[in-house]
A and B are shown apart, each in its own frame.
Chain A
């Protein structure tokens, strides 16, 4: 009984830690177009890059156009083929995910 309680206690603490870690580790993605290339940056709030995260590029209808992995700086880029709105999703470890919607207007603006 005692060991069961201890396990429950540890479990609760772990759940608490996991919960707070999920908040503190909010994943962000930002994307922009420059000279026909879509550049993405994936990062945590403090600026640490999301390394080796999965990038999914989808049309507005949800069709996956492209998949890739972020590099050591959290970067991933790909050529812009059509000027159609895109949803770019970053999937980091432990189910942390975020998306950036690249509008058509973002595609004509050069930085």
Chain B
């Protein structure tokens, strides 16, 4: 009888862990204050680098990234020294987590792809490390010249849809690359950034599967998703790394994610 109670308790715990895992998709985020810079706009933009649950508005700790930079007209510029430490928490979180921010002055026309490689994040619930290579593209002064180029990360999403100037309900198509080659049938998790500044009201998902949308890439690593709301949308293509990292003396798997953020705007 006693054993049965322990057993049912254990099953309940496993259930909780399993459902928590399902509802909490991790996302690296680079959030620019503006995605399209025109002549009349402020040419100095702020960029926030975070590690979050976008739909559930929860922060996780982001230690100082390994790499943070911008790819513009074929050149990579290191912005890591410019990152400033900051603290933030979601409305239902009691403790603050670290994130990073910087200002960047857009001086020339063209596509600016900002990218981030974090240090591995240990996730006990998944018994795995997580490394999310994250990108976002800011366009300046009408020159649309670099958004479809790879930055050269271990894994990354290459947009096949121009990643800015998108209307709500547009289809975003991308290709997942792993070590420079298409990642066949990769799983892509998609979440809405509930804290988007142009979100008219906080979205309350009616049940867990609504939090994270899931699509599979085809044999060429190509996937599509139509974004049903104005604001920022994160696409995280997940793969297992072919390398491991030690945790307390044991070799552990590393989940590597290729994350891309795009913004949708309502037609008015």
By a beta-carbon cutoff of 8 Å, the part of chain A in contact with chain B is 26, 28, 30, 32, 41, 43, 45-47, 100-101, 111
* B207 CB within 8 Å of chain A: no
Contact A47–B143 (Cβ < 8 Å): yes
Which of these, B107, B109, B110, B144, contacts A111 with CB under 8 Å? B107
Chain B, residues 97-112, CB within 8 Å of chain A (1/0): the string is: 0000000000111100
Contact B145–A100 (Cβ < 8 Å): no
Instruction: Please tell me the size bucket of the interface on B.
Output: 10 to 19
Query: With a CB–CB cut-off of 8 A, which chain B residues contact A32?
Result: 107-108
Query: With a CB–CB cut-off of 8 A, which chain A residues contact B143?
Result: 28, 30, 43, 45, 47
- Which residues of chain B from 1 to 51 have any CB-CB distance to chain A below 8 Å in the complex? 39
List 7 interface pairs A-B (beta carbons < 8 Å), by A numbering. A41-B109, A43-B142, A45-B143, A45-B144, A47-B110, A47-B144, A111-B107
Other A-B pairs beyond A28-B109, A32-B108, A45-B142, 4, CB < 8 Å: A28-B141, A30-B108, A47-B145, A111-B107
Query: With a CB–CB cut-off of 8 A, which chain B residues contact A46?
Result: 144-145
Minimum CB–CB distance for A25 against chain B, Å: 12
Minimum CB–CB distance for A57 against chain B, Å: 16
CB closest residue in chain B, given A47? B145
- Which residues of chain B from 130 to 152 have any CB-CB distance to chain A below 8 Å in the complex? 141-145
Contact B141–A30 (Cβ < 8 Å): yes
CB closest residue in chain B, given A48? B145
Bound together, the chains give a CA A47 to CA B141 distance in angstroms of 11
Contact A100–B107 (Cβ < 8 Å): no
Bound together, the chains give a CA A32 to CA B110 distance in angstroms of 14
Query: With a CB–CB cut-off of 8 A, which chain A residues contact B107?
Result: 32, 111
Bound together, the chains give a CA A30 to CA B143 distance in angstroms of 10
Which of these, A26, A101, A111, contacts B142 with CB under 8 Å? A26
Closest 9 A/B residue pairs (Cβ)? A28-B142, A47-B145, A45-B144, A30-B109, A30-B141, A111-B107, A43-B143, A45-B142, A47-B143
Bound together, the chains give a CA A100 to CA B39 distance in angstroms of 7
Minimum CB–CB distance for A32 against chain B, Å: 7
Bound together, the chains give a CA A30 to CA B73 distance in angstroms of 15
Query: With a CB–CB cut-off of 8 A, which chain B residues contact A30?
Result: 108-109, 141, 143
- Which residues of chain B from 84 to 117 have any CB-CB distance to chain A below 8 Å in the complex? 107-110
Bound together, the chains give a CA A90 to CA B108 distance in angstroms of 17
CB closest residue in chain B, given A103? B39
CB closest residue in chain A, given B141? A30
Contact A101–B39 (Cβ < 8 Å): yes
Minimum CB–CB distance for A78 against chain B, Å: 19
Query: With a CB–CB cut-off of 8 A, which chain A residues contact B108?
Result: 30, 32, 111
Query: With a CB–CB cut-off of 8 A, which chain A residues contact B110?
Result: 47
Minimum CB–CB distance for B37 against chain A, Å: 11
Bound together, the chains give a CA A3 to CA B43 distance in angstroms of 56
Bound together, the chains give a CA A30 to CA B107 distance in angstroms of 10
Query: With a CB–CB cut-off of 8 A, which chain A residues contact B144?
Result: 45-47
CB closest residue in chain A, given B145? A47
Bound together, the chains give a CA A111 to CA B142 distance in angstroms of 19
Query: With a CB–CB cut-off of 8 A, which chain A residues contact B142?
Result: 26, 28, 43, 45
Bound together, the chains give a CA A28 to CA B110 distance in angstroms of 11
Query: With a CB–CB cut-off of 8 A, which chain B residues contact A43?
Result: 109, 142-143
Chain B, residues 227-248, CB within 8 Å of chain A (1/0): the string is: 0000000000000000000000
Among B108, B110, B141, residue most surrounded by chain A Cβ atoms (within 10 Å): B141
Query: With a CB–CB cut-off of 8 A, which chain A residues contact B39?
Result: 100-101
